[in-house]
């Protein structure tokens, strides 16, 4: 069974930065792509970023491109999301997810395991 635990969320002012972490256990982490998604209450969960098993390929939602960076450390079984120049509209619960394939995808249905989420709140 895969377990994903997010951390690093919190309250930050607009223009500030946060780094989210997601620690994985229960599978060979380095074989699988990982993704970050976010959800606002009452809205659908949306894609934020994804990274391939090797870390060489990344994809971003247009809304975060140039501000967020996804990375991974396979030795630590951890994926990160560095969020800079945060905006109030980035406020959401952020989830990490594991895709049981090595390759990046923004399709939420391709992800098999999910963390519990971490709240990010950006004040104006």
Contact 83, 91 (CB under 8 A): no
The values of phi and psi at residue 110, to 5°, are: -85, -10
Distances (CA, A) of 56 to 6, 8, 15, 70, 75: 22, 24, 28, 11, 15
What is the reported pLDDT for 1? 82
What is the reported pLDDT for 29? 84
What is the reported pLDDT for 102? 83
What is the reported pLDDT for 20? 98
Dist. CA 12–CA 32, nearest whole Å: 31
Contact 94, 21 (CB under 8 A): no
| pLDDT tens, the chain, 124 aa long | 889 999 999 999 999 999 999 999 987 788 899 999 999 999 999 999 999 999 999 999 999 999 999 999 999 999 999 999 999 999 999 999 999 888 888 899 999 999 999 999 999 9
């Amino acid at each position: 069974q895969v377990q994903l635990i997010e951390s690093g969320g919190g309250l930050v002012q607009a223009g500030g930065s946060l780094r989210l972490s997601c620690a994985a256990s229960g599978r060979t982490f380095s074989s699988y792509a990982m993704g970050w998604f976010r959800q606002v209450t009452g809205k659908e969960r949306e894609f934020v970023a994804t990274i391939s098993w090797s870390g060489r390929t990344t994809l971003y939602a247009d809304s975060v491109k140039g501000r967020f960076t996804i990375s991974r450390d396979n030795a630590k079984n951890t994926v990160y999301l560095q969020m800079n120049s945060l905006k109030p509209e980035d406020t959401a619960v952020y989830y990490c997810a594991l895709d049981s394939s090595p390759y990046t995808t923004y399709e939420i249905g391709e992800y098999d395991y999910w963390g519990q989420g971490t709240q990010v709140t950006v004040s104006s």
